[in-house]
Amino acid sequence: MKKMSIYSRRLPPTASTEPEPSSPLSMKNMRTRWQSIRNTPFIFFIAGILLSSTLFFGWSTFSQKPKLLTQDIIDEAVLKTLNTKELPSKATKAAQIIMPSVVMVRAFKIESDEKKKKDSKKNPKEDGALGTGVVVMEDGTILTNYHVIAGSDRVEVIFYDGTKANAKVVAVHPHNDLAILKPEKLPDDLLPATLGSSAQLKYGEDVVAVGFPFGIGPSVTAGVVSGLRREFTGENGAQLRNLIQFDAAINQGNSGGPLINAAGELVGIVTALLNPSSTEKTFIGIGFAITIESAGSAVGIPPF
């Protein structure tokens, strides 16, 4: 007798043999497709290239050492500047520094009524002595030559900005041809000179003189130190010693003005010019200046 199978390998007649249709927009399908793309070797290849590029550029950036600044590089830059740009001269730079501290000094004498009438048509510059001064302190203290203001009854100073003021003679030192003035009025932007040291001067060193020769100025002349520790007899007969000899052109009106070094520092007060002629005092190549140390001690400034 044949046994009946309990389980049939065939589907029951009521079961469908066709596969269940799948929806293309189903979440199951989307996840399956994304997993397929994500696991694609091409994606890993692109990611590897990007990562390698990032690492390479990062390494090349941080591995470069900064360029060292050598003397050759500095010299090359300086030489290029000198060849391509027009630089101001030493005299120009020095004069620009001292100019705001330079003043014109005019000294007047009281005249009789008869002389006033006679000279009424005279140029005011001829009424008295004319010279130069330099502001050496913030309170307006001015240094000039004694022979500029000697015998005067009134002294007037004209500052760089055009401000005019009467000045009082507070001290005189005839033995070294120096006088100290204090103006009654000061400009708002008064700038005193920077004091240097004559002890550092050497033969042939550049110097600049600023003043009002013949009332023209301020005028600038340049030269060199042509001698040190010179002696000269001043206009009042005083024997001046330890003078700076220089060849920057000066004339009447320069007396009392500043002599400065290339840095614009005050190293002397112009006091005299050497001239064999007793009638015409014009410059022939030799001028003298009192050292700033001697001038400073007269004002009360301690030596340097």
* The one catalytic residue among 101, 198, 226, 255: 255
What b-and-e string marks burial along 112-126, b requiring 16 or more CB atoms within 10 Å of the CB?
eeeeeeeeeeeeeee
* The one catalytic residue among 147, 198, 219, 226: 147
- In the residue annotation, 255 being an active-site residue is answered as yes
Question: Strand pairing of 142-144 and 239-246?
Answer: unpaired
- In the residue annotation, 173 being an active-site residue is answered as no
Instruction: Please say whether the beta carbons of 272 and 231 come within 8 A.
Output: no
- In the residue annotation, 177 being an active-site residue is answered as yes
Structure tokens at 245: 């000899």
* The one catalytic residue among 177, 206, 219, 226: 177
d(CA 295, CA 86): 37
d(CA 141, CA 266): 14
Active site positions, annotated = 147, 177, 255
